[in-house]
Amino acid sequence: MLIFTEQELKEHVQLNLEAISIVEEGFVKLANGEVTMPPIMRVDVHDQNGEVDVKSAYVKGKEMFAIKVSSGFFNNYKLGLPSGNGLMMLISTKTGIPQSLLLDNGYLTHIRTAAAGAIAAKYLSRKNIQTVGVIGAGDQARYQVRALKLVRDFKRVLVYSRSLDRAERYAEEMRAELGLDVQAVENAESVVRNSDTIITTTPANEPLIKAEWVHPGLHITAMGSDAEHKQELEPEILRRADKLVCDTKAQCTRLGELHHALDSKVLADDSSVLELGQLASKQMKGREDDQQITVCDLTGTGVQDTVIALFAYNEMVKRNKGLAIEKNTFATKN
């Protein structure tokens, strides 16, 4: 077995076009029926505003598949800690024997989630955008904008957080990193009305974005609602969308923004809802004109975890990295 640390993974696995392409390929395989993906298992720790998810998927033809344990404890910022954490295990599809542990502390989850956001924007956002709106100011809010910058050129970012201090800190850090005009805004309405593309990255339990704020040409990537009790968008937004896309309908009808729209009868059914893999595989079209309103509901899939874990594993092995464990002895690879 090979064990890789967060420090090693951050050094050699980056959020770049190659990582986005790897995740996009995973969505294509999901759309083509080449993936076996069980439902998410989740443990809620409500009294600590936390949760732990277990996700997995087998991709046909791959030598290994991943099982990921990821946590989100959303009060951690008060302790000076990141909200996300976790690890991944790669298991042989031939023997079932564990082959690797990736002790990434949630880093690979950030990469694959941000990649999905970039893929959504690639097919659904207008090609020419000026202003990106971000709801939330945590780690994923940073990764999403970094990923979006790889597929769209924009000049300005508006960020809203329930904590203005966090929003201002985000603005300062991302302004320095990306060389863009990044501004903290005091309310979500101003962000939505003045942006071409919106990314929501919060664990909110009630809608943060109202339908009356949505305007022609807007794209929304909503990735915070990955549990039954979470919700960032008013259901009416999904009804108004000219294109409504999910990472997987099976999950989104149970966990995502889509399930709130169905439960409230704002949408009668999911027959018009597309999946991201259908766009990536060219089975269906994404945005068709600059006036369409588009929404992508991301709940996070096991196939993303398997493909990013395999990508990371291969990047590390070809560099001869990691701690090798054989026959109850420890040996560090040079």
**Residue 177, CA distances (Å) to 118, 153, 172, 222, 239 in order:** 18, 15, 9, 24, 37
Q: What residue type is 132 in one-letter code?
A: V
Report which of 243, 203, 217, 239 is spatially closest to residue 42, judged by C-alpha positions.
Answer: 203
The DSSP output letter for 54 is E
Residue for token pair 């009305």:
193
Strands 323-326 and 294-297: unpaired
Give CA–CA dist 221/200, Å, rounded.
Answer: 6
The DSSP output letter for 76 is G
**Residue 131, CA distances (Å) to 98, 125, 148, 181, 276 in order:** 45, 12, 12, 9, 23
Give CA–CA dist 334/323, Å, rounded.
Answer: 9
Just list the catalytic residues.
Answer: 68
SS3 3: strand
- 8 A C-beta contact, residue 31 and residue 280: yes
User: CA torsion, points 23, 25, 29, 30, in degrees to nearest 10?
Assistant: 30
